[in-house]
Amino acid sequence: MQYRISASCLPFRWSLVRNLLIAASVTTAIANPPAFAAASSRKSCFSSSAANSSSSSNSNSNSSECSKMGDQQPGKATGNAYEAGSSSVAFVTTPDRESARKLARSIVELKLAACVNIVSQVESVYMWEGVISEDPEYLLMIKTRTSRIDDLSKFIRENHPYSVAEVIALPIQNGNPPYLDWIAQTVPTKAESKD
């Protein structure tokens, strides 16, 4: 890491580019798992405990393979493996920090999401009413259940300062099992919500 430069040394534009590259790499890593996480390797470590219990020798070898890799088996708290796409990341832009914080806090308080990251200093270039515009914005990265995206979109439309609010959701195909379990435990399903 000798080539890593402190953020305070970078000019504003370079900081913006760095933040966007980080956000893009996180999104890409979530949507496209790396080659070493191919289905064949996931099968041995990420299969459900019910499937592993059918063969005790198979179960022991799976556990030792996972511990060698340093991975925790998913669904340990719930007993189920993560279902790809059951959680999503939604992206929303806001015009200022105040509206970003207000939306983020309300979303988490209403349990529409487990976590909202606020990324500052995003510059958006877009076509609006026939004119190309460039504006500084704040980006919300919202982690929630896929089944709650419609509720989240409705809430944002009703509370966002823009007349046409951006809400774009991408399914999470893979990730850190304890984190994905935490999202599922934090955000209630529609049936459990208090609407």
Residue 73 has pLDDT above 70, yes or no: no
Residues 173-195 have pLDDT tens digits of 999 999 999 999 999 997 554 54
For 89, other C-beta atoms within 10 Å of its C-beta total 23
- pLDDT number for residue 81: 86
Measuring CA to CA, how many Å separate 132 from each of 9, 127, 128, 129, 151? Answer: 32, 4, 6, 8, 31
For 110, other C-beta atoms within 10 Å of its C-beta total 15
Q: Comparing C-alpha atoms, which of 15, 21, 29, 8 is closest to residue 179?
A: 29
Residues 8-63 have pLDDT tens digits of 444 544 555 555 556 555 555 555 554 434 443 343 333 333 333 333 444 444 33
Give a three-class secondary structure readout of the chain.
CCCCCCHHHCCHHHHHHHHHHHHHHHHHHHHCCCHHHCHHHHHHHHCCHHHHCCCHHHHHHHHHHHHHHCCCCCCCCCCCCCCCCCEEEEEEEECCHHHHHHHHHHHHHCCCCCEEEEEEEEEEEEEECCEEEEEEEEEEEEEEEHHHHHHHHHHHHHHCCCCCCCCEEEEECCCCHHHHHHHHHHCCCHHHCCC
- pLDDT number for residue 57: 40
Q: How confident is the model at residue 69 (pLDDT cuts 50, 70, 90)?
A: very low
- pLDDT number for residue 75: 45
Structural domains in the chain, sorted by start: 93-186 (3.30.70.120)
- pLDDT number for residue 148: 96
Non-local CB neighbours of 164 within 8 Å, separated by 6+ positions: none
- Mean pLDDT throughout 62-79? 41
How many angstroms separate the most distant Cα atoms in the chain?
66
Residue 98 has pLDDT above 70, yes or no: yes
- pLDDT number for residue 70: 39
- pLDDT number for residue 20: 57
Residue 134 has pLDDT above 60, yes or no: yes
Residues 147-167 have pLDDT tens digits of 999 999 999 999 999 999 999
- Half-sphere exposure of residue 47: CA atoms within 13 angstroms, side-chain side: 18
- pLDDT number for residue 119: 97
